[in-house]
Amino acid sequence: MMPFACDVLTLFPEMFNAVTQYGVTGKAWKNRIFELTTWNPRDFSHNSHRTVDDSPYGGGPGMVMMAEPLEEAIMQAKSRQQGLGITHPEVVYLSPQGEKLTHATVKELSLGSGLIFVCGRYEGVDERLIVRQVDREISIGDYVLSGGEIAAMVLIDAIVRQIPDVLGDPESANQDSFVNGLLDYPHYTRPEIYRGDQVPEILMSGNHAHIQRWRLQQSLGRTWSRRPDLLETKLAHGMTTEEQKLLEEYKQSHKTR
């Protein structure tokens, strides 16, 4: 299979070693499941100081990334991806003004064959670059970072683990929290008693059907108590009679404690 192609525009290319060198994404990169090419906007600067930023029109604090070096870097990234046979690589800009990242967005992006990530620094990027070149502006949450790099890595990590073969067991990604619209159930491993705390009896029973039902109930219950917003969505898409029964039972046992 052709690797999933990531082209990243960044002033700090070495930050991306975090995804290519470690863990599940590191292994996927080594196995050429995805590839990552960085483009430093400084290499596209038009002056000898390699400047890529300037002060904002209208005044105010800080600096703004200039459109020209970024647009030229995007052109290079696009022609590289087109050379790989990727006809329409989407350009993604990471910013707090973007659409909020969800598992659905991750899935959608993972279905393509390549993406170009624009990582901003300073106070942001000249709006004309965004209007001209960016297909999707994505936020990973309502907070401000020092730049788009860590957000891009969050997105790359989430996308890569959706690619078939990345997780050893082909079912693994489907077991992830959020796939069924619910939070994960609690996990336990040895020892059976940790500082006086017992592993829930049912997990020691060997009864797989019972364990499965208990885990689903924990997922439902935790979603109800911690993320009622997610449960509303799940409810709107329809819950089985079994799921409703398990949740009612969980609510009941939580009132009486």
Report the catalytic residues.
Answer: 96, 123, 161, 176
Q: Give the 3-state secondary structure of residue 12.
A: coil
C-alpha distances in angstroms, 224 versus 133, 181, 183, 208, 231?
A: 41, 12, 9, 24, 6
Q: What is the DSSP letter of 178?
A: T
Q: Which of the ranges 143-151, 174-182, 208-216, 237-245 carries the binding residues for ligand 9WO, by CB under 6 A?
A: 143-151
Q: What is the DSSP letter of 85?
A: T
Q: For residue 221, state whether it binds ligand 9WO (rule: CB under 6 A).
A: no
Q: For residue 61, state whether it binds ligand 9WO (rule: CB under 6 A).
A: yes
CA–CA separation, 209 vs 144, rounded Å?
Answer: 45
- Please choose, from the candidates 155, 154, 113, 167, the residue with its C-alpha nearest in 3D space to the C-alpha of residue 3: 113
For ligand 9WO, the binding residue among 74, 151, 167, 183 (CB under 6 A) is 151
Residue nearer to ligand 9WO on the CB measure, 151 or 182: 151
- Rg (Cα) of the chain, in Å, rounded? 23
Q: Which of the ranges 11-19, 120-128, 179-187, 246-254 carries the binding residues for ligand 9WO, by CB under 6 A?
A: 120-128
Binding mask 77-96 toward ligand 9WO (x if CB under 6 A, else -) reads: -----------------xxx
Q: Give the 3-state secondary structure of residue 152.
A: helix
Rounded to the nearest whole angstrom, what is the least distance from the CB of residue 53 to ligand 9WO in the complex?
Answer: 11
CA–CA separation, 30 vs 83, rounded Å?
Answer: 22
For ligand 9WO, the binding residue among 68, 72, 90, 123 (CB under 6 A) is 123
Per CB under 6 A, residues contacting ligand 9WO are: 61-62, 94-96, 120, 123-124, 139-141, 144-145, 147-148, 151
